Structure 1
Amino acid sequence: MNGMARGLSWLVRRRAEAVQLQQQQARGIRVQVRNDNLEQALTVMERKMRASGMERLIRRQVDHHLKNSEKRVLARKNLMLRVRSQDLARKLRTILLKKIRSPLPYR
C-alpha cells in the first residue's frame, strides 16, 4: 500500500509539473521590436527568459551527446555545490546549537 501511495504521489507531482510547464509555454514571451532595433529586442527577450526560468528549463533538456570530459566537469561542479551547501548547513547548525545551549544573560 505504501509503495502504491508513493507511486501515486509521484504521478500527481509529475502531472502538476507538466501542467505548469504547459501554462508557461502557452503564455509565452512576447517582445516588441521598436524602430527596427532587433538587437535591443533580443536582449530584452534574453532578460525575460532568464527571469522566467525558461532558460534553465531549456538547458536542463540536453539532447546532444556529452563528451566524457564534459561529464567530468559537470560532475565536479555538482560535487562542489553539494559540498559547499553541506558545509554551510553544518556551520548554521553549530551556530544555532550554540544559541540554543547558551544560558540566557541575567538582567
Structure 2
Amino acid sequence: MASITDIARDFTSMLRQGQFVAARERYWAADVRSIEPHDLPDGIKAEVLGFDAARAKTVRWFVSRKVRDVTIDGPFVTGNQFALFLDMMIAGQPNGFAEPFTEIAIFTVRDGRISEERFFYD
C-alpha cells in the first residue's frame, strides 16, 4: 500500500494538472465524507456521505464553475492527514467574470483512500 505521503503527492499532482474529479475518484473511499462550511447557494449540501454522493456534489460544482487558474501549496502531511492551500480564479457567476477563491482543504486517509475531505473558506 502507498504511504500517505505518496498518496498526498499524487493527489496534489493530479489537482495541479486540472484533474479535480479524476483525483478524487481515484483516491476516495467508498464511504468518503465531504464537508463544506455551509450549504452552497446552488443547492449543494454542506455534508455528503458516500462515493456516489461526493461524486455528484463534485460534478455539480464543476458544471456551474470553471477553474481558470489554480495555485496549490502543499501537501502538508501529518499522521493520517494532509492539507492543501488552494488559490483559484473561478468563473461561473452570471456576469461571466472570474473571481478569486481561496480555501484550505484537509484530507484524512484510511487504508490508502481518502475517507474525509473538509474545506475551509469564507
Structure with more strand by fraction? 2
Query: Quick check: which one's helix share is greater?
Result: 1
- Relative to the length of structure 1, the TM-score reads 0.24
TM-score using structure 2 length: 0.22
**Does 1 or 2 have the higher relative contact order (CA < 8 Å, sep 6+)?**
2
